[in-house]
């Protein structure tokens, strides 16, 4: 029997962040119109730790996420509070397989103002994580960065710039996302 | 977001090439990568790149060497060096050698994004600047005639002034200077522009044929005249008749032409009916008509009748400042025609073009650019593409010279050199007149005339 991919899985990769998981999952469900399930906590991704950089390799985490994804996975999103890097970049807020299945985001660099030591004037961490989660999942649906500064797919240089955009798609990105989703749901099975 | 800037990544680490290429593609850039310096130089020579992300430390040819080569081949391409902390002094040297900036690996996404935005924005401004220069270039052209030189600006002004009058115009200038273009420009800017523009190359037709071409004939006027045929004068009714090579028509035809100009009417060959026409006449010649008048081979009354307005086109060697403009314009034209991407001239090529005497004038320049675009891959026209740079064509070939006109001390007269060169070109092209004329940068009529003047015959 063919199992159709239909569920977006959210995977905690640490022991923290439990407070935000439900709200992020709810927001994903609203924006993508797909069923969202929170998987059990997978613990720290020690396999991805780069000793020299003292950071976690997001590429390796993505590979691991794909390995643990259930057959009915439409997309799988890892959430961690660790400092992520991709080999060519110093750090990343998150990473996604463009047009693929997996994405990962981190709260590590989302939790503070740019000076890194103050929480004052900073929007709730959950809001930023919600936007980052939708943004990265958007990439897995084949969406590129959007020129509309209000759209969640807009690329913001720096966290503060990201605060001004909304946690949902502009009409163009929404239509594109639905088109890609229809393709994922009904053609790839 | 980034207007699809073309970015080339040069890094010996395949992982960096792959990851950066993918990331740039996701950011809507057109990205590609190569793994070493020679590959980068080849890629720069083959295609136009807006930005190069160049690794400083590479085995073999290092980043600084590659940077210098890129700046020689494509100075407009922005080069950003990528380096590790340890090689920051090298990056500073790179900046001195023309790099735009440097990025430290591992890269900072925000820094890279901002830098690419800044560069693409800068290049947009450069493009706008080019557009504005093109608009300025349009001021330097008039109905396909190009020239920013003072002499050409005067020609444009004269064309504008006389276009919408009925005055007869005599266009003079050496072969290949664009006399027909001037005639067409005058027609296109006159109130007759919606009526026909009819051209006749008087030099290409024998006398009797020219008369029948100009005035037409009645059925039975001569053997083979099976039906009545309208002449060019009739076809040009309400429009413009362009008589090219007017200096070559016989005295008999000159009389007939003069009568038409006087009476604005004529009879077809073999006909009795008077045909009235309203034609604006533009004549052109590369001959010195005043001298022809003095020699008695051109009627003075016809000369003064034709020379109401004289538009004289200067030879290209007298307006060398127009050569880059013309070359650029022809490059654009032939890029479209042959689907090539030439966008610049090598400095040496331009210097040679400015030095050259251009006996075939603009037509010769056009042919040379066409040839270069056809045989080259671009994006640069190089000195090697120019036929007059080849030693075998810069020296006169004495093999076919008859020797009867030689100066006696081993040197050849100009006429003799011309004759032997034309003969050689004809033989090289199996007497294909059109192709030979193109290669010589002259029109077919002129070639025919030269063949008969030099009594050249196919062996």
State residue B33's pLDDT score. 94
The verdict on residue B76 lying in a domain is yes
Residues of B in contact with A91 (CB under 8 A): 108-109
The verdict on residue B459 lying in a domain is no
Same domain, B127 and B183: no
Nearest to B325 by CA among B131, B141, B73, B173: B141
State residue B398's pLDDT score. 38
What would the mean pLDDT of B22-37 be, rounded to a whole number? 90
What phi and psi values does residue A82 have, to the nearest 5 degrees?
A: -90, 160
Region of poorest pLDDT, from A26-30, A107-111, B238-242: A107-111
Q: How far apart are CA B304 and CA B77, in angstroms?
A: 57
Q: Which long-range contacts (CB under 8 A, 24 or more apart) does B369-372 make?
A: B369/B327, B369/B330, B369/B331, B369/B334, B370/B330, B370/B334, B372/B342
Which residues in B13-24 are b (16+ Cβ under 10 Å) and which e? Answer: eeebbebbbebb
Residues of A in contact with B18 (CB under 8 A): none
What would the mean pLDDT of B107-119 be, rounded to a whole number? 90
Q: Are A83 and A106 in contact (CB under 8 A)?
A: yes
Distance in Å, alpha carbon of B46 to nearest chain A alpha carbon = 28
pLDDT greater at residue A113 or residue B371: B371
Residue-number span of the structural domain to which B51 is assigned: 2-136
What is this structure's pTM?
0.53
What would the mean pLDDT of A142-158 be, rounded to a whole number? 87
Tracing tokens 């009389």 back to the chain, one arrives at B255
Q: Are B56 and B62 in contact (CB under 8 A)?
A: yes
State residue B311's pLDDT score. 93
pLDDT greater at residue B143 or residue B362: B362
Same domain, B350 and B229: no
Q: Are A38 and A66 in contact (CB under 8 A)?
A: no
* A92/B106 Cβ within 8 A: no
State residue B230's pLDDT score. 87
Distance in Å, alpha carbon of B85 to nearest chain A alpha carbon = 13
The residues of A annotated with a catalytic role in the active site are 136
The verdict on residue B399 lying in a domain is no
Q: Is the pLDDT of residue B143 over 50?
A: yes
Q: How far apart are CA A42 and CA A14, in angstroms?
A: 7
* B114/A145 Cβ within 8 A: no
What helix, strand, coil percent values describe chain A, rounded to 5?
Answer: 35, 20, 45
What would the mean pLDDT of B146-164 be, rounded to a whole number? 88
Distance in Å, alpha carbon of A1 to nearest chain B alpha carbon = 35
Same domain, B346 and B386: yes
* B114/A85 Cβ within 8 A: no
The verdict on residue B401 lying in a domain is no
Tens-digit pLDDT profile for residues B338-347: 888 888 888 8
pLDDT band per the 50, 70, 90 thresholds, residue B87: low
State residue A77's pLDDT score. 97
A50 contact B CB<8A = no
Same domain, B340 and B427: yes
A149 contact B CB<8A = no
State residue A114's pLDDT score. 47
What would the mean pLDDT of B177-205 be, rounded to a whole number? 88
Same domain, B264 and B201: yes
Question: What chain A residue is nearest to B24 in terms of C-alpha separation?
Answer: A144
The verdict on residue B397 lying in a domain is no
Same domain, B90 and B31: yes
* B16/A92 Cβ within 8 A: no
Q: How far apart are CA B45 and CA A60, in angstroms?
A: 38
Residues of B in contact with A92 (CB under 8 A): 109
Query: Does the predicted interface ipTM exceed a cut of 0.85?
Result: no
Which strand (E) or helix (H) includes residue B185?
helix B179-188
State residue B402's pLDDT score. 38
Question: With pLDDT > 70 as the criterion, what percentage of chain B qualifies?
Answer: 91
Residues of B in contact with A114 (CB under 8 A): none
Identify the DSSP state of A154.
B
The verdict on residue B197 lying in a domain is yes
Tracing tokens 């690794």 back to the chain, one arrives at B55
What would the mean pLDDT of A2-9 be, rounded to a whole number? 82
Same domain, B420 and B344: yes
Residue B303's CATH number: 3.40.50.300
What would the mean pLDDT of B128-133 be, rounded to a whole number? 78
State residue B259's pLDDT score. 87
Q: How far apart are CA B317 and CA B320, in angstroms?
A: 5
Structure-block tokens of residue B93: 């040297």
**Interface subset of A 99-128, CB within 8 angstroms of B:** none
Structure-block tokens of residue B192: 């007759």
pLDDT greater at residue B87 or residue B371: B371
Residue B363's CATH number: 1.10.8.60
A89 contact B CB<8A = yes
Q: Is the pLDDT of residue B393 over 60?
A: no
Tens-digit pLDDT profile for residues A164-178: 888 899 999 999 999
Region of poorest pLDDT, from A40-49, A145-154, B63-72, B78-87: B78-87
Q: Within 10 A of A47 (CB to CB), how many other CB atoms are there?
A: 11
State residue A185's pLDDT score. 78
B-side interface with A, Cβ within 8 Å? 1, 15-16, 19-20, 22-23, 26-28, 105-110, 112-114
Same domain, B81 and B197: no
The verdict on residue B436 lying in a domain is yes
A86 contact B CB<8A = yes
Nearest to B115 by CA among B169, B242, B107, B241: B107
Region of poorest pLDDT, from A32-46, B104-118, B197-211: B197-211
Distance in Å, alpha carbon of A144 to nearest chain B alpha carbon = 6
Q: Which of B96, B111, B136 is the last residue of a domain?
A: B136
The verdict on residue B34 lying in a domain is yes
Number of domains in chain B: 3
Q: Which of B136, B169, B198 is the last residue of a domain?
A: B136
State residue B9's pLDDT score. 95
A18-32 and A125-140 are packed helices; what angle lies between their axes, rounded to 10 degrees?
Answer: 40
Q: Which of B314, B345, B370 is the last residue of a domain?
A: B314
Which among B20, B26, B113 has the least Cβ separation from residue A98? B26
State residue B179's pLDDT score. 92
Region of poorest pLDDT, from A99-103, B296-300, B412-416: B412-416
Q: Give the three-class secondary structure for B256.
A: helix
State residue B401's pLDDT score. 38
What would the mean pLDDT of A4-17 be, rounded to a whole number? 84
A92 contact B CB<8A = yes
What would the mean pLDDT of A91-120 be, rounded to a whole number? 79
Q: How far apart are CA B299 and CA B150, in angstroms?
A: 33
Same domain, B164 and B66: no
pLDDT band per the 50, 70, 90 thresholds, residue B408: very low
Residues of B in contact with A98 (CB under 8 A): 22, 26
State residue B94's pLDDT score. 83
* A89/B22 Cβ within 8 A: no
DSSP β-bridge partners for residue B103: B82
Which among A86, A90, A147 has the least Cβ separation from residue B19? A86
Same domain, B51 and B129: yes
Residue B72's CATH number: 3.40.50.2300
Q: Are B183 and B171 in contact (CB under 8 A)?
A: yes
What phi and psi values does residue A40 have, to the nearest 5 degrees?
A: -70, 150
DSSP β-bridge partners for residue A57: A85
Mean pLDDT, chain B, rounded, equals 84
Which among A88, A144, A157 has the least Cβ separation from residue B113? A157
Same domain, B430 and B296: no
Same domain, B424 and B326: yes
Cβ-based burial of B304 (10 A; exposed 0-12, middle 13-18, buried ≥19) = exposed
Question: With pLDDT > 70 as the criterion, what percentage of chain A qualifies?
Answer: 88
């Amino acid at each position: 029997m063919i199992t159709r991919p239909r569920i977006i899985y959210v995977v905690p990769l640490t022991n923290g962040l439990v407070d935000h998981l439900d709200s992020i999952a709810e927001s994903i469900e609203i924006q993508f119109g797909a069923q969202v399930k929170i998987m059990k906590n997978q613990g720290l991704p020690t396999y991805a730790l780069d000793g020299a950089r003292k950071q976690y390799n997001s590429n390796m985490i993505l590979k691991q996420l794909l390995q643990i994804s259930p057959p009915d996975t439409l997309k799988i999103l890892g959430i961690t509070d660790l400092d992520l890097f991709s080999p060519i970049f110093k750090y990343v807020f998150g990473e996604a397989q463009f047009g693929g299945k997996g994405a990962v985001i981190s709260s590590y660099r989302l939790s503070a103002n740019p000076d890194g030591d103050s929480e004052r004037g900073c929007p709730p961490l959950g809001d930023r994580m919600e936007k980052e989660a939708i943004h990265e999942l958007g990439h897995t649906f084949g969406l590129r960065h959007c020129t509309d500064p209000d759209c969640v797919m807009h690329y913001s240089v720096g966290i503060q710039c990201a605060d001004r955009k909304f946690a949902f798609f502009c009409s163009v990105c929404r239509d594109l996302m639905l088109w890609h989703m229809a393709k994922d749901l009904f053609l790839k099975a | 977001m980034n207007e699809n800037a073309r970015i080339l990544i040069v890094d010996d680490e395949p992982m960096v090439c792959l990851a950066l290429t993918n990331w740039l593609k996701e950011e809507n850039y057109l990205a590609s990568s190569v793994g070493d310096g020679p590959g980068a130089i080849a890629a720069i020579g083959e295609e136009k790149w807006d930005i190069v992300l160049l690794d400083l430390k590479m085995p073999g040819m290092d980043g600084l060497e590659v940077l210098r080569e890129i700046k020689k081949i494509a100075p407009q391409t922005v080069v950003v060096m990528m380096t590790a902390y340890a090689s920051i002094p090298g990056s500073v040297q790179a900046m001195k050698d023309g790099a735009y900036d440097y990025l430290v690996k591992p890269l900072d996404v925000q820094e890279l994004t901002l830098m690419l935005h800044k560069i693409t924005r800068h290049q947009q401004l450069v493009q706008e600047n080019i557009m504005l220069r093109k608009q300025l270039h349009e001021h330097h052209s008039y109905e396909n005639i190009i020239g920013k030189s003072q002499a050409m600006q005067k020609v444009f002004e004269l064309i504008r002034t006389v276009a919408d009058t009925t005055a007869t115009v005599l266009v003079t200038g050496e072969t290949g200077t664009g006399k027909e273009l001037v005639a067409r420009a005058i027609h296109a800017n006159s109130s007759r522009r919606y009526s026909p523009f009819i051209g006749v190359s008087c030099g290409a037709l024998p006398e009797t044929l020219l008369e029948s071409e100009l005035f037409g004939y009645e059925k039975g006027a001569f053997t083979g005249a099976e039906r009545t045929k309208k002449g060019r004068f009739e076809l040009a009714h309400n429009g413009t008749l362009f008589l090219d090579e007017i200096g070559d028509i016989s005295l008999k035809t000159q009389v007939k032409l003069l009568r038409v100009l006087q009476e604005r009417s004529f009879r077809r060959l073999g006909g009795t009916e008077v045909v009235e026409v309203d034609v604006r006449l533009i004549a052109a010649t590369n001959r010195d008509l005043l001298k022809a008048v003095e020699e008695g081979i051109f009627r003075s009354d016809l000369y003064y009748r034709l020379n109401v307005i004289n538009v004289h086109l200067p030879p290209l060697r007298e307006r060398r400042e127009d050569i880059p403009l013309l070359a650029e314009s022809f490059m654009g034209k032939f890029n479209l025609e042959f689907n090539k991407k030439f966008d610049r001239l090598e400095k040496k090529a331009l210097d040679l073009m400015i030095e050259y005497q251009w006996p075939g004038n603009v037509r010769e320049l056009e042919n040379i650019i066409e040839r270069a675009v056809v045989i080259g891959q671009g994006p640069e026209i190089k000195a090697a593409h120019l036929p007059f740079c080849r030693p075998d064509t810069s020296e006169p070939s004495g093999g076919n010279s008859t020797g009867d006109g030689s100066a006696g001390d081993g040197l050849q007269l100009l006429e003799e050199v011309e004759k032997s060169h034309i003969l050689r070109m004809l033989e090289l092209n199996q007497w294909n007149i059109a192709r030979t004329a193109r290669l010589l940068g002259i029109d077919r009529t002129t070639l025919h005339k030269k063949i008969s003047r030099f009594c050249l015959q196919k062996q």
